[in-house]
Chains A and B, each alone.
Chain A
């Protein structure tokens, strides 16, 4: 089947169902914004009081469109933490209705921090395995060094597991770290961590919200097996200039935002830099050490006319680490996104994006006066076209395409006397997709779609084709209960070569080749949700089963950084993961928070490893528990605490020993058959908001990480005992015991 023929069929299939219903109707469309800053609001539920079946949510640009028969209606706009807005309308012709929502906090003191777009979204939407996080939630949760962090907060959700103490890499439903698609304003971020993973690249001051989809992503997303983390940057206040910032133990932040054209367009610039090394250099021991990172986020939008808007967003971040002239390393991401929003008609919304993203890593050593450098990078040029077609009140269709041109340079050595033969690889990653959000009846929602992806390797003239069907359905059993069912296939054409668990700057990406085939995952999931106490308590639980094909590992003894041809060092196999996730949220009252628990299993079977038998993947965790509580003590004081418990990583301990050429060597048996000790920890923080003085608002946050000083295992090494070399000691290294922190935040 040719691809054009295929596209036609795809669109036909998607459109056929909706087109069967016809009516003589009018359309209401518009944009929903926040009243204080003028920022558009994503995911606002727009419902029609008189017609419970009709209802849509605003898209990433705050746009919505509903088509209804002629008549009189009341539109209800609802969104987390905002006062609900009811607007009566007389529908006699197509109508534009722009709305502003005000912060609920101004109306009442009960603050809703745990996110849900509407109180019972979990019951009414078809989306599965999806968590939305707003930065308000993240800001109240205690974190190490008081550095609030989006990824660290996500790791408290069931199904999302931290890869170890301090690690910013995360594993979703048994997936590897590289199987998460991390998007910052649509641009892929290839290494989302700073300082070896202790911090994420997301400066929380510049972030509006983030959504994680655990495998059941809609058809417009693709390219990674396990999850999509879709992060949106703030747009900036389009009413007045505002400065905000914070001073913390290890970093400071500053953000400036304001209107370009008042009430129409705005900009925001936000920066962050750590300065631990500046203090450290005061001590003569560390005089020659440089160690810092910085981030710069900038975004601007330009109002062209009522129907057209341009957005530009950019991110630049870098880590620097050097000691004298002996050792130096730099790594960082840069991304840029140019988007053009166009309301083609009241029913058709178009977004065109041109995206650039780049990750660079460079490390240099000096020995005997000779320099050696290792570097790797990946660079993307990316074009996306997405259409949303609001066909009628029960069908919203999305379709579009995506073309990405990758230039990938795996770790390459350079320096005196080195003749490098490694070349950059090119890859062309393409996809076309169509999906429909369909409401066949009052209590049934079905999202279905198809993504057709094809990856071309110009060097070997090879193209891989994949069809990725996705479907999720939500059936409402009663006013407080629903069940969900989902299936999705995802494929992945880029693969991360890493010799660390937690994500390291030396990790290098490679693309498909003649030998390396796309990874494929199929996931089936089943969910149940119930709300109690007038939607104040929300219970969501899901089970999933996932199989993975064409998984990659290395041969024993492969040094992935220096080997001339990495492909010769790879082994291939399959994986499977299954588990049960439960999340109980309390969304209202002075005490809010959640309890998340996951019971899961993740295994791999690779030809040439562990005698070709199934073995536990590194990221396999049997139990994973997190408890988050936020308590409004007084209007000014907020207390919060988190507790986590998780089974230790699956690791391989030696079982025996022998002597070879007078050296003791350890003998190993089955791969990853052992466990590190479990990790558990209690963190605590308190936030005090000072009374505002005019425009000037400020707050203090105090935190204590690892309250009871648990020595969680970071690594274990085996050593001969100093006094008795015949005895082998297991020595465990732990990080972070009792880390206090204090942060001062301001805004004016």
Chain B
């Protein structure tokens, strides 16, 4: 879709962008819970913050006096240690594939709970770079994470992309809805509409692949869909459906992690 608009614009010469001032509706500050348990050695972190109005440039308020516990379905449970700055840390928990983890947060007289099951790891084999010329002579790079999806259906993969050690604020999510049980050939839908995001030769590409559970998959799919359209476009934006109870925003995710790095030719 985006491609089509680009071509149309190129053909019919006309389209322009400008920054506009909008009047935003009042924002209701909500509690944000970020929790991750991975298959890597701990400690694992839970972070509790609050949202701020869109136009604010202040820092995000943190909650440092919450009670945070994580338990698994193998009988382990622990209360996390506050670290300040909204962070809480595990001491003994060992993230294991196939286990279901339950997070409980007691903060500001409310209790929030969340559950996530760590999927079995799908090994991340390598990063493949494809060079194509789409429009004009400019070389574009397709970044294709290579992994073999298992036969069982319902797998979700999240990719965290960094270019020259800078985290890219875009959401890359793949699943096996369309192709199941095969080696992946789909590129990451990297948006380089802004010139400063264009990839160049010798750029260092680093990708962390996460095998995430379906609920986390839906969360990031929603974010990716919203980012692709925006108001006036297609999908009406909304707070992505998450796995935390009681109206808190954010996500608790138990997932595997594996990172690969390459340099663009």
Contact = CB atoms under 8 A, between A and B. Distances in A.
Say whether A associates with B.
Answer: yes
Interface of A: 145, 164, 195-196, 198, 250, 276-277, 280, 284-286, 288-289, 291, 321, 323-324, 326-327, 329, 367-370, 372, 413, 416-419, 498-501, 504, 506, 555-557, 559, 562-564, 618, 649, 651-674, 676-677, 711, 713-720, 722, 724, 726-737, 739
A676 B15 CA distance: 17
A234 B236 CA distance: 41
B18 A370 contact: no
B179 A417 contact: yes
B14 A737 contact: yes
A556 B49 contact: no
B4 A661 contact: no
B240 interface: yes
A562 B178 contact: yes
Given A677-B20, A732-B18, A655 B234 contact: no
A658 B137 CA distance: 39
Complex A-B, nearest 10 residue pairs according to Cβ-Cβ distance, in ascending order = A557-B222, A651-B231, A656-B27, A715-B232, A499-B234, A655-B27, A368-B185, A285-B136, A370-B185, A658-B51
B130 A652 contact: no
Given A557-B218, A661-B160, A718-B54, 14 more contacts: A284-B136, A326-B132, A372-B178, A499-B234, A500-B233, A501-B232, A501-B234, A506-B1, A653-B22, A653-B25, A658-B49, A669-B28, A730-B19, A735-B14
Nearest to B196: A722
Contacts of A326: 132, 134
A276 B27 contact: no
A728 B54 contact: yes
A559 B221 contact: yes
26 contacts: A280-B10, A285-B137, A323-B3, A323-B7, A323-B134, A324-B132, A555-B241, A556-B222, A651-B232, A652-B231, A655-B24, A656-B28, A659-B32, A661-B34, A663-B169, A674-B24, A715-B230, A716-B22, A716-B230, A716-B232, A717-B230, A718-B230, A720-B169, A728-B54, A730-B21, A732-B17
A504 B51 contact: no
Contacts of B28: 655-656, 669
Interface residues of B, number: 85
B14 A739 contact: yes
B99 interface: no
A658 B134 contact: no
A668 B236 CA distance: 10
A652 B221 contact: no
B7 A289 contact: yes
Contacts of B167: 662-663
A499 B137 contact: no
A660 B187 CA distance: 24
Contact of B237 (A289, A416, A618, A668): A668
B249 interface: yes
B212 to A, nearest CB: 12
A727 B21 CA distance: 12
Contacts of B7: 286, 289, 291, 321, 323
A666 B54 contact: yes
B235 A655 contact: no
A563 B177 contact: yes
Contacts of A667: 27, 30, 51, 54, 239, 249
A504 B52 CA distance: 36
A617 B137 CA distance: 43
A669 to B, nearest CB: 6
